[in-house]
Amino acid sequence: MNIAGSTALVTGASSGIGRAVAIALSQAGAQVVGLGRDVPALRSLAETNGITMLPVDLEPADELQHFVEHSLPDLPPVDILVNCAGSGRFAPLAEHSARDIDRLLDVNVRAPIALAKAVLPGMRQRGRGRVVNVASIAGRLGVPNETVYSATKGALAVFSRALDAELAGTGVGVTVVIPGVVQTSFFERRGAPYDRGWPRPLPPERVARAIMRAIARDRSEVVVPGWLRIPIWLQSTLPGLYGRLERWFG
């Protein structure tokens, strides 16, 4: 897909992977519309990179619906949708409140599905487009104390694969991105810092570069870094061995 001259909608654009992707798309010649909650960060991104930024909170159903029904139709037709916005929670399942669970489901699952549903008719009519959903290695392996987060990212990954198959032959594709640990403020917001010495967190720009290649090459799945395909394969092929290794090494 030719990125230059396209219109891209990026969620979670005020920080982390979303911000890096918005900048990369803009530098590649796309007209970028970024959504986020941090207004000062959005303003800075707009001023320094010429990106159109809109303050939108994807968690409240009414605000998401208002954007889809009233704001999205006023934007140029979207050729690329990158769902980067995400919410985390680090705690045993028993300590997840109903509000915690609803937030994780709303931001990580409902919003990406609603936005994809909104932009797909135009993409199919034009015969071109790509939806990129940023999931997580947690959604493939499952992480203790992040059970609900893992479940939401797993759901997003399966949704992406199913939708990609559904759209076969239309000129529209779907990419699911499976990043490992990324150096963002996500860990602070989830309620616990990342305190392991290995693997070392990746800069969000590396994930953004992988996303750009996936869009340009019409790839259906991206795992960043690539070596994470080893534990993914091991868990799916030898789950008993993987479980023992997980208990030994964490």
Give one DSSP letter per residue of 104-120, joined into a string: HHIIIIIHHHHHHHHHH
Whose CA is closest to 124, among 80, 171, 164? 171
Instruction: Classify domain 7-249 by CATH architecture.
Output: 3-Layer(aba) Sandwich (3.40)
Q: Report the distance separating Cα 125 and Cα 123, nearest Å.
A: 5
Extents of the domains making up the chain:
7-249
Q: Tens of pLDDT along the chain (250 residues)? A: 899 999 999 999 999 999 999 999 999 999 999 999 999 989 988 888 889 999 999 999 999 999 999 999 999 999 999 999 999 998 999 999 999 999 999 999 999 999 999 999 999 999 999 999 999 999 999 989 999 999 999 999 999 999 999 999 999 999 999 999 887 776 667 666 666 666 788 899 999 999 999 999 999 999 999 999 999 999 999 889 888 888 887 6
Whose CA is closest to 1, among 80, 57, 95? 80
Whose CA is closest to 185, among 53, 109, 86, 56? 86
**Residues with a known catalytic role:** 149
